[in-house]
Amino acid sequence: MLREYGLQRFYNRLHDVKLSSIGHPADYYGLSLILGGAESSLWQVTNAYAGLASTLNYFNSSSSEYRPHEFTEPVYVKNKKVDFGKKQPNPSVFNAGAIYEAFTAMKEVNRPQGEENWSFFSNSQPIAWKTGTSFGFKDAWAVGVTPKYAIGVWVGNADGEGRPGLTGIEAAAPVLFDVLDVLPTTSKWFATPYDELTEAEICQKSGHLANVFCTETVSEFIPKNGLKTEPCPYHQKVFLTASETARVNSSCYELSEMKQKSWFALPPVMEYYYAPLHPEYKPLPTFKNDCLQEGENLMEFIVPKKNETILLAKDFNETTQELIFKLAHRDPERTVYWYLDSEYIGSTETFHEISVLIKPGAYLLTATDAQGNEVKQHIKIALATN
């Protein structure tokens, strides 16, 4: 996702909301930047969330306008006003519609133990919140915003020593909600910024704009830029046998006997993770054996990922560990044959995972099944350094 959005563009956005502690160039952080792989202080993070809430509040209280300095430093002197600048028609960073939708999604996140049933109480307070955990469990944080307050919590040891269980959800989030409980109670939520939203038909299964084959849709308000996104790529029209057990085409089946149906079909890797959690999901049927087929995407590598350098790890005895390659197949029972360059390294059935001892270098990894379906990927192997 970050690769598509643009690493430098995202980096600039973080600086726009005054996360100035991120001092290295964008390439230093790489794609891990979107996962929290950069340094910042709790103060700056909380101030950034406060700026988002302030943007949304001002838009709703004015004539759908913005101010250029929403992310300015707070003022600590009583009766001194913050200079947010002159009002303007366009946002300096994010528009109110995008902020509102993000906050709404963050409000629905499952709360920590003891807070699960918050919505059933008349005095419950809605809050948009997020947690974070540093590498090695060295510290944890949680931040939340309501229309009136921004709350930030940091939990950790002053010397930076890690501790098991020192995570955002287990250590910092409970403190966040304790603080929320002692603040003046209000059930008020951010007003909907309709001037920055538009109504659209959404596919209920994928969350994308609905295409003509989506069977279950709902009308929702979305940010206007959402209309520029692609329609649902997963619902498609398929032609099946009369029994609906296999796909067919004109090369193997009478047109008059074909059944036409809309089908929700995910790419192999998505399906691999999605299907076990959604028992209602039905994998796309394979083609009838005597059907001609072209461009069928039956297999996809899970490990390695595209365009990544794989690092060889060593154990305590300085022995290089085996690498594990893994793929998803729409028909897991098929036998898959694995090759590194032109060298055969083994076969798998059902669970398509194979380990191999390999030297650093560049290789072509190939996997092919018994029916001749094939997937290839160039990979680069390097030694991990301490």
User: How far, in Å, CA of 117 to CA of 271, rounded?
Assistant: 32
Residues 6+ apart with CB under 8 A from 81: 75
49 within domain boundaries: yes
Q: What's the whole-number average pLDDT of the chain? A: 89
Residue-level pLDDT at 193? 97
33 within domain boundaries: no
User: How far, in Å, CA of 356 to CA of 344, rounded?
Assistant: 11
Give the Cβ contact number of residue 298 at 10 Å: 19
Asked which of 202-211, 237-246, 302-311, 337-346 is least confident by mean pLDDT, the reply is: 302-311
Are residues 310 and 376 part of one domain? yes
Are residues 118 and 146 part of one domain? yes
User: Which segments of the chain are extended strands (E)?
Assistant: 128-133, 139-145, 150-156, 197-203, 217-223, 235-240, 259-264, 299-303, 309-312, 323-329, 336-340, 343-348, 353-356, 361-369, 374-383
Q: Which of 137, 135, 176, 136 is nearest to 154 (CA)?
A: 176
User: Angle CA(71)–CA(74)–CA(80) in degrees, nearest 5?
Assistant: 125
pLDDT in tens, 270-292: 999 999 999 999 999 988 888 87
pLDDT in tens, 50-74: 999 999 999 999 989 999 999 998 8
Are residues 151 and 80 part of one domain? yes
Query: Are 216 and 234 contacting, i.e. CB atoms less than 8 angstroms apart?
Result: no
User: How far, in Å, CA of 200 to CA of 214, rounded?
Assistant: 14
Are residues 105 and 177 part of one domain? yes
338 within domain boundaries: yes
Query: Are 112 and 177 contacting, i.e. CB atoms less than 8 angstroms apart?
Result: yes
- Region 157-161 average pLDDT: 80
Is the pLDDT at 320 greater than 80? The verdict is no
Residue-level pLDDT at 117? 52
167 within domain boundaries: yes
Sign of torsion, CA 353 354 358 364?
Answer: negative
Query: Are 97 and 105 contacting, i.e. CB atoms less than 8 angstroms apart?
Result: no
Residue-level pLDDT at 311? 83
Are residues 55 and 154 part of one domain? yes
Asked which of 32-36, 89-93, 112-116, 179-183 is least confident by mean pLDDT, the reply is: 112-116
Is the pLDDT at 352 greater than 50? The verdict is yes
User: Angle CA(346)–CA(352)–CA(357) in degrees, nearest 5?
Assistant: 45
**Per-residue tokens: 7:** 């690493």
8 within domain boundaries: no
Q: What is the DSSP string of 63-90?
A: TS-B-TTTTSPPP-STTPPP---S-BSS
Are residues 210 and 147 part of one domain? no
Which of 107-121, 153-167, 224-238 has the highest mean predicted lDDT (pLDDT)? Answer: 224-238
Is the pLDDT at 116 greater than 60? The verdict is no
* Percent of the chain whose pLDDT exceeds 90: 62
Place of tokens 């603040």: 183
Residue-level pLDDT at 121? 45
Residue-level pLDDT at 122? 45
Are residues 160 and 95 part of one domain? yes
Are residues 271 and 324 part of one domain? no
Residue-level pLDDT at 120? 44
* Residue 29 identity (one-letter amino acid): Y
The pTM score is 0.79
CA distances to 303, 306, 367 from 328, in Å? 10, 14, 11
47 within domain boundaries: yes
Tell me, what CATH number does 143's domain have? 3.40.710.10
CA distances to 132, 162, 221, 262 from 235, in Å? 35, 46, 22, 7
**How far from each other are the two terminal CA atoms of the chain, in whole angstroms?**
29
274 within domain boundaries: yes
Are residues 307 and 340 part of one domain? yes
Residue 223, domain extent? 193-233
User: How far, in Å, CA of 298 to CA of 275, rounded?
Assistant: 15
- Region 150-178 average pLDDT: 89
Tell me, what CATH number does 312's domain have? 2.60.40.10
Looking at the structure of the chain, the number of domains it has is 4
Is the pLDDT at 40 greater than 70? The verdict is yes
Phi, psi of 95 (to 5 degrees): -80, 165
Residue-wise burial string across 115-138, b where 16 or more C-beta atoms lie within 10 A, e elsewhere: beeeeeeeeebbbbbbbbbbeebe
Residue-level pLDDT at 119? 54
Which of 285-294, 314-323, 342-351, 376-385 has the highest mean predicted lDDT (pLDDT)? Answer: 342-351
Is the pLDDT at 165 greater than 90? The verdict is no
Is the pLDDT at 155 greater than 50? The verdict is yes
Are residues 150 and 84 part of one domain? yes
187 within domain boundaries: no
Are residues 172 and 71 part of one domain? yes
Residue-level pLDDT at 346? 95
Are residues 117 and 59 part of one domain? yes
- Report the greatest alpha carbon distance in the chain: 82
Q: Which of 141, 159, 182 is the last residue of a domain?
A: 182
* Position with higher pLDDT, 36 vs 209: 209
Is the pLDDT at 293 greater than 80? The verdict is no
